[in-house]
Chains A and B, each alone.
Chain A
Amino acid sequence: MTSNVNLGLTNVGPETHPLTWRYTKSGKAVLDIKEYEALEGYAALKKAVAMPQADVQAEVKAANLRGRGGAGFPTGIKWSLIPMGPDAGQKYLVCNADEMEPGTFKDRMLMEELPHQLVEAMILAAYAIGATKGYIFLRGEYILAGQRLTAAIDQAKAAGYIGDNLLGTDFSFELHVHLGAGRYICGEETALINCLEGRRANPRTKPPFPQQAGAWGKPTIVNNVETLMNIPAILLRGPDWFKGLSQGKSPDAGTKMYGISGRAKITGLWELPIGTTGRELLYTHGGGMADGYELMCWLPGGASTDFLMPEHLDLAMDYDTIMKAGSRMGTALIMVVDDKQNIISAVRNLEQFFARESCGWCTPCRDGLPWTVKILESIEAGEGQEGDISTLQQLTRFLGPGKTFCAHAPGAMEPLQSALKFFPAEFTKGIKAKA
């Protein structure tokens, strides 16, 4: 994995790269707790547990940290919805580490190289919300991350960061790594909770939201890996510093893990100020397209985002700007599609993934996605029939937001609807002329 990680940056430090500076500085994974402590490790935790919980929450809220799993929901607001006080009872903190979005590999790198940073962030966040139990719900295939996180948790326990009355406070916390069994839908936070409980990984009805009734019916916060790993630095350096990290490129705060896959010269991951443009990412850091290939279009943040065109490269990659352009920033790991690629095949491939990963709960997703795939296969083979395109268009509407039980099918429709918009001729080409 590390070979894919290409941070490629100089002048890296805690002031500018809160997520990855320790890795860059060390030149390798920071696995030993002593080494992590020597790099400001657990300093934020120590600072936080000396503060009232409400103040810790206020810092995170003030920092305008937005969820890095893809939806961009403000973390501070999410936290503020969880009941606090002596009557709140058992609460849980869950880290969503079920990273399975096609083309996305940021959480893997962060967990494999900097497991302690996630552990510290979990303890700190748990303290802030008063959760005495934490779970890292880890994608089953992330075996190395699992080993390293488990080792880090053991070290943290031995060092007194995890356990009863940790660091001399009256706060107690236990932390577990739970391996998923490889379903994309487990990245949906309520399906994740069901799965954690040992139930089928179907998303849950909302409301009630996990903050009211989550894991085992108790108030629960689910945060993404990258989101959590920003928090120690926010506590150490303050919300104003964090907001300044975007260097005016975006109203959003902090840095973001950006990445490239596809036929670029250099693929990999970079921690950059949030709001960095696609052009800077692809041409400055990725070295541009591979020789002999032109950029046809790109997915800004995983398979469940709408295609953007080359003219969108100058947009700031932040949540609201990409949204306005008709897509979503998603995980911000872009997938570049070159001019030699058949777009129908690409979309069919993505839809096959989504059809397979549907949990089977609601009708549009369960039965609409396989139909989508079959029509695309037909068009790909030049066997499309009249009406297929309008059927696809209707599917993109009726599998869209608000009509399905969760966001899985709407996500699946994003690449399709944008492909239909940008490349109508490619679809028409696959329709067999009437005999």
Chain B
Amino acid sequence: MATIHVDGKSYDVNGSDNLLEACLTLGLDIPYFCWHPALGSVGACRQCAVKQFNDENDTRGRLVMSCMTPANDKTYIAIKDEEAKSFRKSVVEWLMTNHPHDCPVCAEGGHCHLQDMTVMTGHNTRRYRFTKRTHINQDLGPFVNHEMNRCIACYRCVRYYDDYAGGKDFGVYGAHDNVYFGRPESGDLESEFSGNLTEVCPTGVFTDKTHADHYTRKWDMQFAPSVCQSCSVGCNTSPGERYGEIRRIENRFNGSVNQYFLCDRGRFGYGYVNREDRPTKPRLASSSQVFTIDSALDQAADLLRSAKRVVGIGSPRASLETNFALANLVGSGNVSYGVSAEEQALNGLVYKVLKEGSVTTPNLRDIEKADTVLVLGEDITQTAPRLALAVRQAAKTLAFKMAAAKKVPEWNAAPIKNIVQSEKSPIYIASVTATRLDDVAASTTRSSAADIARLGFAVANIIDSSSPAVAGLSSEQTEQAQAIAAGLLAADKPLIVSGTGLKSQAIIQAAANIAYALKFRGKEVGIALTLLEANSLGTALLNTQGGESIEAILTAVRDGAADGLVVVENDLYQRAPAELVDAALKAAKVVLVLDHHSTKIVDKAHFVLPASSFAEGDGTLVNMEGRAQRFFQVFDASYYKPEKLIREGWRWLHAIKSTLDNKIVDWTVLDDVTASLASSNSALSAIAGAAPDSKLRIHGSRIAREPRRYSGRTAMRANISVHEVRQPQDQDSAMSYSMEGISGPTNNSQLIPFAWAPGWNSPQAWNKFQDEVGGSLRAGDPGVRLLEPAASAHYFTEIPTSVEGLQSAPLYHIFGSDEQSARSEVLATRVPAAYVGVSTSDAQSLGLANGQNAEVIVNGSIFIAPVKVIAELAVGVIGVPVLAGLPRVSSGAAVSLKGGA
């Protein structure tokens, strides 16, 4: 603790921050550019100058940069000092000597930190009358636009992209007033996290190119607190909508999950929401009948009544509520939560480790603080990208330690970099092929899934000899295991990362054993297990009350044991063998499908009901940490197009059930569903706490989804009717579809649709909602953790044997392996073409050349794809990418491969 004196008032602060952080935390505004809570201080922009005095008697003082000055006890400063104010105004004036006057045509306008700081400093007349320097811009690919003339050289971009995210294709060039930030030449930004440049940049140099195609000012968009649906990390997002279209995704701060950053899949993969081919109206096969909600419900009920036994298939990309409503409709013995038997077992195993194991799953912020990491099998950059960015930060814990030894605080970014040079906290990676974290790895080993698991079991056995030993290891494997075990044992806070990506239970068990062994040895260990989809863990929690595999349900339909099938938000072809899906669809008397994607299943349904995507509905997901998080409806599609009858899956399903039962609907609002689910499933009893309920009011008001300056509302539907209708009313949440209501920091809840505070229009406004800058939201970070570990655990004892011969392994791609985002037009440009991955030596022995077509037989499927020779792929492993159109493979299945024409 420390007491600092600002403009004559005394404040207690924590003493470990710098003055800028301390003042912002106190709610005192000091303008800044180069400082960023996630990137620390470097003292480049000089914007945050304040006057510091030696003591209470010093009246002269001297200007200091608040970001570079520790908030020590008995610090006397003045923010309002005339010289300091004048200097800060000058800084903006200098920046403006080169910044163009193009705010009206700049995509950043309206959420621009430079605009905010210009207003804050009071610079309003430009004395500079000479020419401005200009730059040539680069084409940085489909995601990020580049407009270097706007650059104010705060150096945030290069510090984020290179130092924080580990990018290698971006830099700063030139000198004096001709510094240039970009790539060595035009080309796609290689980092999976390039989109954060658009929020890190305080002005319009880096902007969202996908947004530019249907641009809307921030103040003209409608927002809701949402959760990314693209992987199991569950990053919090703030989607912006206008005219019934999602226009962009911005980061929504959650201090325990994504903090300030998203991956490019999550940020730019929203286009599927806006696709024209989405089902938006109830549709009866080979009929042109137009339905209302009621007639659609009657139709669905009639169809289901005609079936003798109705079964249902839910989905790991659907909310808990929707899956639960399906189970209620068809009965718990008749439901699958939409995954294969294999994946169900894997997800169940993850649940078991998290629930019955002895080791906790840290949140992402704590993952960043791990001092040694083992990544066992999972290619997290491709399957859970934001987690990979957090693990990359863990490589820097050593830097903070080394800096602390020289009395350099954590916020003092540049000296830390100098002190640590190229040293890193150890990260060990065992994978089937190269990963995008290899550049920070202390060691990498590449082998088949079975051998990765065996290595893991061996590591556990070295750490605690009471865990099962592995027979028949090579001396090389033994040495690797010893090195990893020694590294983990030398750590204070080791972290084990694995996941279901390789579809190997043995790998997860091995990871668990290592974590348990470290716990046994007294380490403050964490385990992080990724799953394949946004709600995979949620379906595992639902499965605790029974649930079949997708194959079991389809087999029942195919074999006539059931004749009615309800499919909810599931393209069955992505998760079950095509022949089984075809046979079941053929055999079923009634196929009712609810989805927001136009899938092949939708095409083959007897009746289709348009389900909401995350943008038009509310629901709850459970992320890999076991954190239940709620996403909220961003807009009402039928407000703009009354013919659209999009409803949440759970709303449709419950209404159908009520119709069938001839009862009144008793889930009228979301809170009813979550309450019902919480009371019926003890594993989910806490989910109501994932977000504030619909009754919340702040000073008697709802929370506004639209910024105060939202324009054009009264004319918005003029193309439909000149009579202005009432705004959509939201029963499900405490928010309004309006600019009326609470906006900004007076909203002290977790329900924050968009970052804004008076004078703070950019994402930097998040500091107004935090308990301390960069910390947690004042109301606590959103979401509720459902799973905490047990006191002790039993080791897994089944150790796999090595698999001989050619064997399969799934290979993941950030762009392409996620079914939903891959449907976005922009992302599709980055999805790789189908291929089959073969190691260099296997290619040689099989006589296969790069690019040559090969016929691949695996798990009973045959496909033809061009060979991609991958030097880093483990010998014997045939990599089958997880991409649309290719069969889903497990690890370790025998593969035969022959060259074709």
A residues apposed to B, CB below 8 Å: 183, 200, 204-205, 207-208, 212-213, 216-217, 355-364, 366-371, 374, 378, 385, 387, 391, 394, 398, 402-405
Contacts and interface: CB of A to CB of B under 8 A. Distances in A.
B710 interface: no
Among B98, B176, B408, chain A packs the most CB atoms within 10 A around the CB of B176
Nearest to A378: B130
List the 5 closest pairs (A to B, CB-CB), nearest first: A367-B94, A360-B179, A358-B176, A374-B130, A217-B419
A203 B408 CA distance: 17
A358 B176 CA distance: 5
A371 B97 contact: yes
Contacts of A207: 408, 415
Contacts of B47: 363
B98 A360 contact: no
Interface of B: 42-47, 49, 62-64, 68, 86-87, 90-91, 94-95, 97-98, 127-130, 152-153, 155, 172, 174-179, 402, 406-408, 412, 414-415, 418-421
Contact of A208 (B155, B419, B420): B419
Contacts of B44: 361-363, 405
Contacts, number: 107
Contacts of B152: 363
A213 B46 contact: no
B744 to A, nearest CB: 29
Given A363-B95, A387-B127, A403-B63, A370 B415 contact: no
Nearest to B128: A371
Given A205-B42, A358-B177, A363-B94, 12 more contacts: A204-B414, A204-B418, A213-B419, A217-B419, A217-B421, A355-B177, A357-B175, A366-B179, A368-B94, A378-B130, A398-B90, A402-B62
A398 B418 CA distance: 29
Contact of B415 (A208, A356, A360, A367): A208
Contacts of B68: 205
B418 A371 contact: no
B173 to A, nearest CB: 9
B63 A364 contact: no
A366 B172 contact: no
Contacts of B91: 363-364
A358 B408 contact: no
A152 B861 CA distance: 74
Nearest to A403: B63
A370 B176 contact: yes
Contacts of B177: 355, 358, 360, 366-367, 369-370
Contact of A402 (B63, B174, B406, B419): B63
7 contacts: A200-B172, A204-B414, A208-B419, A213-B418, A213-B419, A370-B176, A394-B90
B689 to A, nearest CB: 44
Contact of B175 (A204, A358, A371): A358
A210 B98 CA distance: 34
Contact of B94 (A360, A371, A405): A371
Nearest to A401: B62
Nearest to B62: A402
Contact of A205 (B172, B174, B415): B415
Contacts of B64: 402
Nearest to B96: A367
B129 A385 contact: yes
Given A205-B68, A363-B45, A366-B179, A371 B130 contact: yes
A207 B416 CA distance: 11
Contact of B406 (A208, A355, A363, A367): A208
A358 B87 CA distance: 20
A364 B94 contact: yes
A359 B175 contact: yes
Contacts of A360: 153, 174-179
A378 to B, nearest CB: 8
Contacts of B414: 204-205
A387 B128 CA distance: 11
B95 A217 contact: no
Nearest to A201: B175
A370 B177 CA distance: 8
A216 B571 CA distance: 55
B42 A370 contact: no
Contact of B127 (A370, A391, A403): A391
B243 to A, nearest CB: 40
B46 A403 contact: yes
Contacts of B178: 360
A405 B98 CA distance: 20
A402 B175 CA distance: 22
Contacts of B90: 364, 368, 394, 398
A206 to B, nearest CB: 8
Nearest to B133: A370
A378 B43 CA distance: 32
A398 B87 contact: yes
Among B42, B87, B94, B152, chain A packs the most CB atoms within 10 A around the CB of B94
A41 B534 CA distance: 76
A351 to B, nearest CB: 12
Contacts of B175: 183, 357-360
Contact of B176 (A359, A364, A398): A359
A203 to B, nearest CB: 10
A366 B129 CA distance: 17
A385 to B, nearest CB: 7
A366 B176 contact: yes
B181 to A, nearest CB: 11
A362 B87 contact: no
A207 B62 CA distance: 18
A207 B177 CA distance: 26
Nearest to A405: B43
Contacts of A368: 90, 94
A358 B128 CA distance: 19
